Amino acid sequence: MKVVVFGATGDQGRAQVRALAQAGHTPLAVSRGGNHASAFGGEVQPLRADFGDHGSLARAVAAGDAVFINLPSTSFQAAAPLVAATAAIAGAARAAGSRAIVFNTSLPVPRDKLGFAAQDARHEMRRAVLDAGVPAVIVQPVVFLDNLLKAWAWPSIAASGTIVYPHKETLDVSWICHDDLAALMVAALERPALAGSIFDVGGPDTVRGPELARRLGAAWGHPIAFRSQSIEDFCAGMNAVFERVATLEADRLVGELGRIYRWYNEAPEHPFKVDMAPVLAKLPVTLTPIATWAARQTLPGPIGGPAGSPAA
């Protein structure tokens, strides 16, 4: 199939473009500039579209047979334009007779709205996709291992060999990598009988912070420790990282992040913990253990040395 990938130039989208090509599909990689073919190579076709231009979204959808939807984070961006863009993509898919939509929520989404802005926006997007009249599957990942190489996590690993993250030490987390999310989405695409399904997805290992640190340290050949970061410090750091691109004003951004991370840590439903056995029975994918993921990474810099630059 020709698969239109919205958000193709983001980290999650890039992994999906690779997975689609490896599975024999033709990815149509969407960006605002539409001039990024050299970034992918192979059988990847670039398309131009902007979430604020619904006509361009419809033209992009019409170029393919199916659609992967990835959207900017509603933790940092205004939700209304992105909800409207999702509805426009879903409507365009119906009009074009698309064979399938696979929507990546990019974060855990509970069954019911709980008053968290980022998740509630994803609820509305999810409903627009499922109500579009196109066979659709929703994939809802938990925390990404790849985040550990980013600007809000890597510097402390590089400088002191310490993962500093806003998870309490007893929090069970089914860390997933971008490549596994992509593989699960391709598996969903290829199984039309799963239309209407919503899958919470994680990786094969559910661990707490200290065990995560131990496994990464063993793979990277350097002792790694884990320190539970205060949610206040985490929110301030994330605001500093995203202040140039966020469309939410700082107080609202920090307040919403703080509320949702307290829920992640304390919710009785354990939103970061996923039993993947029933998922893999329907989406038969070989998942990547934490140690294997770690061994495959090109680290942004030496551990225990200068912090260096976070991964792109």
Q: What is the pLDDT of residue 26?
A: 96
pLDDT at 275: 98
Q: Give residue 145's pLDDT.
A: 98
Which band of pLDDT confidence, cut at 50, 70 and 90, is reported for residue 79?
A: confident
In CATH terms, 2-144+176-204+272-289 corresponds, of 3.50.50.60, 3.40.50.720, 3.40.50.620, 3.40.50.300, to 3.40.50.720
Q: Helix, strand, coil % (nearest 5) of the chain?
A: 45, 15, 40
Q: Do the strands 2-5 and 26-31 form a parallel or antiparallel pair, or are they unpaired?
A: parallel
Q: Kindly tell me if the per-residue pLDDT of 167 is higher than 90.
A: yes
Question: DSSP of 206-234, one letter per residue?
Answer: -B-HHHHHHHHHHHHTS--EEEEPPHHHH
Predicted confidence band of residue 177 (pLDDT cuts 50, 70, 90): very high
Distances in Å between the Cα of 220 and the Cα atoms of 9, 31, 150, 164, 174 are 28, 34, 17, 17, 20
Question: Which of the residue ranges 38-47, 145-154, 173-182 has the most confident prediction, judged by mean pLDDT?
Answer: 173-182
pLDDT of residue 238: 72
pLDDT at residue 307 greater than cutoff 50:
no
Tell whether the model's pLDDT for residue 273 goes beyond 60. Answer: yes
| Domain ranges, ordered by start, for the chain | 2-144+176-204+272-289
pLDDT value at residue 32: 87
Residue 73 has pLDDT above 80, yes or no: no
Average pLDDT of the residues in 55-84: 91
CB 16, CB 185: distance < 8 Å: yes
221-266 pLDDT tens trace: 999 999 999 988 887 877 676 656 556 555 666 777 888 899 999 9
Alpha helices in 164-208 (DSSP H): 178-189
Q: Could you give the CA distance from residue 119 to residue 110 in angstroms, rounded to a whole number? A: 8
117 confidence band (pLDDT: 50, 70, 90): confident
- Tokens of residue 296, six digits: 């495959």
What is the DSSP pairing of strand 45-48 with strand 136-141? unpaired
The pLDDT confidence band at residue 70, using thresholds 50, 70 and 90, is very high
Residue 3 has pLDDT above 50, yes or no: yes
